[in-house]
Copies of this chain bind each other. A is one copy, B any other.
Amino acid sequence: MDEHALAELCAYAKKFAQLDAPKIRLLQAIHPLLAPRLDEVTDAFYQHLPTIDKARPFLEGREVSLKATHREWLESLFTSNFDLDYTRHLYKVGDVHVRIRLPVEFMAGGMTIIQGELMQLTSRVFAGQPEPLLHANAAINAATGFSLLVMQESYQSSSMAAELERFLQITGISPTLFKNLAKAYNLKQP
């Protein structure tokens, strides 16, 4: 994905998920309050995943490195500027998920678990402060929504590209021949 398309995706995902500058500043402001307990979120996430049959093959033997990567990303939710670098990183994650053949619904399912755990955490950290609690939850919802949106756009385009490659391999059609056939076919369409 080129820089222009990436900038467009970043702006679009921010707008969709309502992740604006005040929310990003808030996430960074609450970071010191949440940071000491973010381990709990990653721990809960990796405690739940192995209870799902379909998830186990993706975990076995990789728990330590997966947990470390997850923990790092979780921290970045509260330190990132949600700029092009963050968008590029999440876009790559979506692509990697296709390459390791992770089922698409793992991303939405995973984000649901993470949101649930973060809401538990904020309810303790902001106990007795209903307004700050609401704002923290809204900012977290926007940030996880932004991340999911970017990953899914990339997952979708990568899985379409992988599917085309599979067709071409099965049929023995060359990429150039397919491109020409597609052009001719599209010209025929009304």
Residues of A within 8 A of B (CB): 12-13, 15-18, 48, 51-54, 103-109, 111-113, 115-116, 119-120, 123, 127-128, 130, 133-134, 137-138, 141-142, 144-146, 148-150, 152-153, 155-156, 159-160, 163-164, 167, 169-171, 173, 178, 181-182, 185
Contacts and interface: CB of A to CB of B under 8 A. Distances in A.
A104 B155 CA distance: 9
Given A123-B130, A137-B119, A160-B159, A142 B104 contact: no
Given A13-B105, A130-B128, A112 B152 contact: no
Contacts of A54: 12
Given A16-B52, A111-B145, A171-B171, 17 more contacts: A12-B52, A13-B109, A16-B105, A17-B112, A105-B153, A112-B145, A116-B138, A116-B142, A119-B134, A119-B137, A127-B130, A137-B137, A163-B164, A164-B167, A170-B185, A171-B173, A171-B178
Contact of A148 (B52, B112, B116, B127): B112
A42 B154 CA distance: 28
B141 A18 contact: no
Given A141-B119, A156-B104, A173-B171, A149 B112 contact: yes
B159 A18 contact: no
Given A18-B116, A109-B13, A130-B123, A104 B48 contact: no
A18 B48 CA distance: 9
Contacts of A106: 16
B16 A153 contact: no
Contact of A123 (B17, B51, B104, B134): B134
Contacts of A127: 130
A107 B112 CA distance: 14
